[in-house]
Structure 1
Amino acid sequence: MELTTLKVNSEEIVAIYTSHGYVALDSFHREDGGRWPRTLIELIREGLMDELGEWYRNGGVHKLANLPVIPHKEAVFAPLYRNPEKIWGIGMNYVQDPAELELKNPDDEPVGFMKPSTTLIGPGDSIMLPDDCGTITAEAELTIVIGKKCRNISESEAPSVVAGFTMALDMTAADIHSKNPRFLTRAKSYDTFFSFGPHLITVDEIPDVLDLNVFTVLNGEKVHQNRIFNMKYRPWFTVAFHSQFMTLLPGDLIMTGTPGPVIIRNGDRVECRINDFLPLVNPVVG
């Protein structure tokens, strides 16, 4: 199941992707006659993702074909949702050669940072380059969406607490970071420095997350590419690791690292592409 958030009549509403268009979730009733939430974050925080997924798998996908749709070409995407409790990222997570994974010290831990919700924008929104910050980079990343509150979970339990996966573009003020490498969060925290969407794809739709390929794309050119398999800290480990030192809440986001950054300038168009995901695209202004 693929979910998105669309701008419709000045509102941001959650919708389900179908091959013939998007169906607004509040356009039909739940099996018990209740209404579905109008926003994706409500759906996640109210614990309704499992119910919706079960309905979808048990015939709901066919019922959607008989409901009114918003055509793909008319869809205007918003951020999947606003104001997540936490936006977490890890850095330097890929190796180029799978053989390097065998050399990783088992005592090593991920490099982490957090971003404020004020960085958040959605597909098609402009990345605004701040004045006097020098070089700005953008990085494409697979991103985990937490679906259930959890603490101290194991790697094997991680898939059960994840609502799904989406894509992100993570921007960094590289010169600011170079000035003070210990204060990475500052370089990551400027307004518009985090874009995510346009689809949330549930865990059951991805046969093996390790087979996904992530591309950082600048002005239509694939500049960097790597496979999730080549991560030092893979998605299920990442969820379990973070749950060891903080409570993860529904809607929390964890970026999993990038195959490589690109320098962005005024007029550029930067993208995250992952296999069959709909691309995440943002223009650059400044």
Structure 2
Amino acid sequence: MKLVTIEHKDREQVAFWTNHGVIPMTWLNEQAGTDWNTDLLALLQHNQFTELHKWYNSHGQAYLSRLPYLAASDTTYRALFRRPGKIIGVGLNYREKAIEISGQAAEEEPVIFIKPDSTLIGPGESIQLPSKAGQVTAEAELALVIGQTCKNINEEQAMSVVAGFTTSLDMTAKEIHARNPRFMQRAKSFDTFLSLGSSLSTPDEYSNLDALEIKTMHNGRVAHSNTVSSMIFSPAYLIAFLSEVMTLHAGDVILTGTPGSVTIQAGDKTGCEIAGLMQLNNVVES
């Protein structure tokens, strides 16, 4: 199942992203007499997402094929949701990137940080470069969206709590972080320093997650790319590890690390490209 958040009739709402077009949840409710939440975060937090997924896999996909739709190319896309419970970042999670940055082998445990929701923007919105922050970088990342509350979950069970995957861009004030590693939280927390994609694909859309490629885009070219198999800590490991530290709730977002960053400046266009998801693009402004 693939969902998107769109702007339709002057409000942001969830829709199905199908092979023939985009179908707002409001249209399904009107046609089928259902009462699904029309906000993705509400779907997750009110325990409707799992039931919706079951409906889709049983007969919903066929039902949707008979409904009217919006042309995908004529639709305005927005961030999946605006106020996640938690946005958890993971640093240095690709072997090549870790060696490039630190000059040494990978850490034995994940490096984690928290992004405030005030950092969050969506597709087409502008990354604002803060004055006096110095050099800023952008990093494409595969993001995990948690679908149900979990605590102390083991690695074998971890993927069962994932609602789906989306694209993301994590920005860092590189010079601030370089002055002192203890400044990382500040370097990550400026407004507009996280872009979240518009589309969510459930795990069953991927037959081989390890082969999934994440690309950091910069001004129309692929600047860096790597696959999930090159992560030091797999998505399942990260969920299990984090759930030992904190309770994970539906709607929490985990950024799994980047294959590589690019330095951005005003006028640039940067993005994240992952198969099965809508490409995420943002422009940079001073």
Q: TM-score, normalised by structure 1?
A: 0.94
Alignment correspondent of 2:182: 182
**Runs of 4 or more off by more than 4 Å in structure 1?**
30-33
Structure 2: stretches of 5+ with no match in the other structure: 98-103
Alignment correspondent of 1:208: 208
Alignment correspondent of 1:141: 141
Contact 1:216 1:225 in 2 (8 A): yes
Contact 1:148 1:161 in 2 (8 A): yes
Alignment correspondent of 2:101: none
Deviation at 1:182, TM superposition (A): 1.0
State the SS of the aligned residue for 2:210: helix
Matched residue type, 2:70: I
Deviation at 1:38, TM superposition (A): 1.1
Pair 30,209 (structure 1): closer, same or farther in 2 beyond 3 Å: farther
Could you list the per-position Cα deviations for residues 184-212 of structure 1 after superposition, in whole angstroms to 9, with x for gaps in the alignment? 11000000000011211001111121110
Alignment correspondent of 1:13: 13
Alignment correspondent of 2:23: 23
Percent of aligned pairs with the same residue?
A: 44
Q: Distance in 2 between matches of 1:30 and 1:12?
A: 17
Deviation at 1:32, TM superposition (A): 9.4
Alignment correspondent of 1:164: 164
- Within the alignment, does 1:57 sit opposite 2:57 as a pair? yes
- Within the alignment, does 1:268 sit opposite 2:268 as a pair? yes
Q: Distance in 2 between matches of 1:113 and 1:208?
A: 28
State the SS of the aligned residue for 2:248: coil
Q: What does 1:218-229 correspond to in 2, within 5 Å? A: 218-229=218-229
Contact 2:2 2:16 in 1 (8 A): yes
Contact 1:86 1:253 in 2 (8 A): yes
State the SS of the aligned residue for 2:178: helix
State the SS of the aligned residue for 2:77: coil
Alignment correspondent of 1:277: 277
Contact 1:96 1:226 in 2 (8 A): no
Q: What does 1:43-192 correspond to in 2, within 5 Å? A: 43-96=43-96, 108-192=108-192
Contact 1:104 1:232 in 2 (8 A): no
Matched residue type, 1:269: K
Q: Distance in 1 between matches of 2:140 and 2:4?
A: 19
Pair 190,43 (structure 1): closer, same or farther in 2 beyond 3 Å: same
Contact 2:21 2:71 in 1 (8 A): yes
Pair 31,162 (structure 1): closer, same or farther in 2 beyond 3 Å: farther
Q: Distance in 1 between matches of 2:189 and 2:77?
A: 23
Q: Distance in 1 between matches of 2:189 and 2:105?
A: 30
Q: TM-score, normalised by structure 2?
A: 0.94
Alignment correspondent of 2:100: none
Contact 1:30 1:36 in 2 (8 A): no
Matched residue type, 1:222: V
Matched residue type, 2:51: E
Pair 156,115 (structure 1): closer, same or farther in 2 beyond 3 Å: same
Contact 2:138 2:172 in 1 (8 A): yes
- Number of residue pairs matched by the alignment: 280
Matched residue type, 2:160: S
Matched residue type, 1:254: I
**Which structure features the higher share of helix residues?**
2
Could you list the per-position Cα deviations for residues 145-166 of structure 1 after superposition, in whole angstroms to 9, with x for gaps in the alignment? 0000110000111111110110
Contact 1:124 1:281 in 2 (8 A): yes
Q: What does 1:232-271 correspond to in 2, within 5 Å? A: 232-271=232-271
Q: Distance in 2 between matches of 1:28 and 1:279?
A: 25
| Two-structure CA RMSD over aligned residues (Å) | 1.9
Matched residue type, 2:168: A
Matched residue type, 2:18: T
